[in-house]
Amino acid sequence: MKFEKSAGNNPIDQLKVVGQPLNRIDGPLKTSGLAHYAYEWHHEAPDAAYGYVVGAPIAKGKITAIDVQAAQNAPGVLAVVTANNAGKLGKGDKNTARLLAGDTIEHYHQAVALVVAETFEQACAAASLVKVDYQRERGAYDLAQQKPGVTSAPEDAPDKSVGDFAGAFAAADVKLDAHYTTPDQSHTAMEPHASMATWQGDKLTVWTSNQMIDWCRTDLAATLNMPMEKIRIVSPYIGGGFGGKLFLRSDAVLAALGARAVKRPVKVMLPRPLIANNTTHRPATIQHIRIGTDKAGKIQAIAHESWSGNLPGGTPETAVQQTELLYAGANRFTGLRLATLDLPEGNAMRAPGEAPGLMALEIAIDEIAEKVGIDPIAFRILNDTQVDPAKPERPFSRRQLVECLNTGAERFGWSRRNAKPAMVKEGRWLVGMGVAAGFRNNMVAPSGARVHLDNNGIITVETDMTDIGTGSYTILAQTAAEMMGVPIERVAVHLGDSDFPVSAGSGGQWGANTSTSGVYAACVKLREAVASKLGFDAQRATFSDGQVHDGNQSAPLAQAAAEATITVEDTIEFGDLDEQYQQSTFAGHFIEIGVDVATGEVRVRRMLAVCAAGRILNPKTARSQVIGAMTMGLGGALMEELFVDERLGYFVNHDMAGYEVPVHADIPQQEVIFLDDTDPISSPMKAKGVGELGLCGVSAAIVNAIYNATGVRVRDYPVTLDKLLKGLPALV
């Protein structure tokens, strides 16, 4: 099905099942422990051996020798796999570094060997016996040191300029010129990167924790130099990904190589230190923002440049993309700068680009509003735009930022906020409120599904879409139930298998909208097949309560499949509506915090997110995504930071003991409001993504609240005690 024009009325608009706050259909399996994750397919491979990864203890250099004899002779060891005996290996398009090092070490903890043994303990013990000699080379590990020499844009990310920024900024009545920094961050998903692989002849099956089945399969085929058709990827349940499992990683490759070496199934799970250093992370940024306004606060000039680092061949953190679209202003400049660093690979982490970009931009907006002397919400509303600022002829399909801010202000009690910092005190606590706009673009991609109807009237949905804990099973079942006129209990959903049609996958906030649209397309075709089988007019037929109706005629849905199961397959393909219209999602984030006047301890007290993200397919699962994202924003504001050892080039706090993330005691009252919103330009579902929108802007709202409480303006994340103590008001 091609989606090339605005969606009209369709069966989804009935909202009998779609749009209802239904419980997750996979909940009972997960709470009972019956949902199988990547490391747990014991019934499929009861004789699995265990692999343990040997990671490089240097960040850059050469391997001069490897001695595996002692490891091979250790108890229980079945094989030791290195680049020397693994056969010729390629590299997937989406991997910056090789997933099994050859002679060259590209980053710390890059895999150099896999020890396979009968038990995990034997593999771990033997891994310590692998002797590798290295020739260490000098590396670059500090973005701030590299920044002065990086002045031009990467070839594939040119600067964008509209009007005359320099002239307009110089002539502006009020100016802000400031730098902001965000640190390296780790995904820290609950489920580690894990895989299990088995071979049957020349065919490979890999059970893995991966968000994008087709990407994983394609890059694994390229890495192993084998036909993609001979690889099956299975990933029905994922215990968190946040972008860290978008791509093929070393656990899957090494499990496949280990299984081939020992001719039996092999399981590989990355220990926590290797997750931080061997997989991907959100790279640090240094951001330079300049804003110039007239005396009334209208933006005349706005510029945003961001520096980040990556391995050779890597990509920059796209931290300026929201600045191109969020506020009006005739004169604009954005640019990305990419430094070469020898740290582990930087890549997508939840809401890549907008998350770190808004951490800076939405502080800058508060700062310039204060300089102008108007309320920060009023400033944002004053500079709202209903069109792409760089292309005024291109409108937003839907843009409710002003409504998000006004609704949030009323609900949160913004009128009670004292605009003068450090004026509200409750006992030992200085209290403040902060606000930030949330923004995340709506992305679409082709997504396929296969749908069956059997003679019991059961609808079965198959697609390689994944569920990373976000509720994919449920919203896909809701879509099929709505389209076919059956209760959700009459729908079975099977996900995460490369034998199923290729979906858009889970990532970038595009998964829900695109995958349900794929099921919609398949169900349109199934409705036509059912009507034809029953002798009904497909254009007039309606489906409800397990029946099919055509005028005065009706028949049970199951009757159409009485002789044989009906199976159809289709893919939603999007036209150029995203070129004609700017499609984005918006939020208003409101925070109240308390800061201990003596210690500088920050406690977030209240959080409110008001979201405009198209049709909300399931308010219960959507709320769960948003409050999780808000929690991640709290972590980014106050505690999350990977510390770089600049001598050895690795992340020191590379486990869940040293890398701080929020815990239950840190989570305050959280409220989420979804505005009534449908976007027929986006898809036949009239939905957009919402999960990452819940993060975008949260950290800045917290920092703005800290300023309101204390008068201390922090521009470097995270806001730790040392950044507050010197500036706190003196105790009286």
Active site residues: 692
Please answer whether residues 654 and 276 qualify as being in contact, where contact means their C-beta atoms are separated by less than 8 angstroms.
Answer: yes
Q: What backbone phi and psi angles, to 5 degrees, belong to 394?
A: -110, 100
232: number of Cβ within 10 Å? 17
- The H-or-E segment that residue 478 falls in is helix 472-484
- The H-or-E segment that residue 572 falls in is strand 566-574
Cα–Cα distance measured from residue 67 to residue 652, given in angstroms and rounded to the nearest whole number? 27
Residue type at 542 in one-letter notation: T
Where do runs of H (alpha helix) occur along 263-373? 272-278, 354-372
Please answer whether residues 605 and 592 qualify as being in contact, where contact means their C-beta atoms are separated by less than 8 angstroms.
Answer: yes
The number of C-alpha atoms within 13 Å of 215 and in the hemisphere containing its C-beta is: 19
Determine the Cα angle at 698 with ends 696 and 700, to 5°: 100
Preceding omega of 421 cis (within 30 degrees of 0): no
For tokens 């994944």, the residue is: 466
Report which of 267, 294, 254, 249 is spatially closest to residue 118, judged by C-alpha positions: 267
Please answer whether residues 608 and 671 qualify as being in contact, where contact means their C-beta atoms are separated by less than 8 angstroms.
Answer: yes
487: number of Cβ within 10 Å? 12
For tokens 């009325």, the residue is: 9
List Cα–Cα distances, 520 to 343, 483, 494, 497, in angstroms.
43, 7, 16, 19
**DSSP, res 640:** -
Cα–Cα distance measured from residue 396 to residue 414, given in angstroms and rounded to the nearest whole number? 28
Using a 10 angstrom Cβ sphere, with 0-12 exposed, 13-18 middle and 19 or more buried, the burial of residue 89 is middle
Determine the Cα angle at 8 with ends 5 and 13, to 5°: 135
Query: DSSP letters of 123-136?
Result: HHHHHTT-EEEEEE
**Residue 506 structure tokens:** 């889970």
- Contacts with 238 (C-beta within 8 Å, 6 or more apart), sequence order: 37, 38, 191, 209, 210, 211, 245, 466, 467, 468, 469, 496, 506
Residue type at 285 in one-letter notation: T
**Residue 662 structure tokens:** 């929020």
**Residue 129 structure tokens:** 């016996």
In the sheet that 553-556 helps form, which strands lie side by side, from edge to edge?
A: 542-544, 547-550, 553-556
- Contacts with 328 (C-beta within 8 Å, 6 or more apart), sequence order: 298, 299, 383, 384, 385, 389
- Contacts with 237 (C-beta within 8 Å, 6 or more apart), sequence order: 26, 30, 35, 36, 37, 467, 496
- The H-or-E segment that residue 208 falls in is strand 203-208
For tokens 């079975």, the residue is: 492
132: number of Cβ within 10 Å? 19
Cα–Cα distance measured from residue 104 to residue 102, given in angstroms and rounded to the nearest whole number? 6
**Residue 117 structure tokens:** 């043994």
Query: Given phi > 0 = left and psi -120 to 50 = alpha, else beta, which region is 224?
Result: alpha
**DSSP, res 695:** T
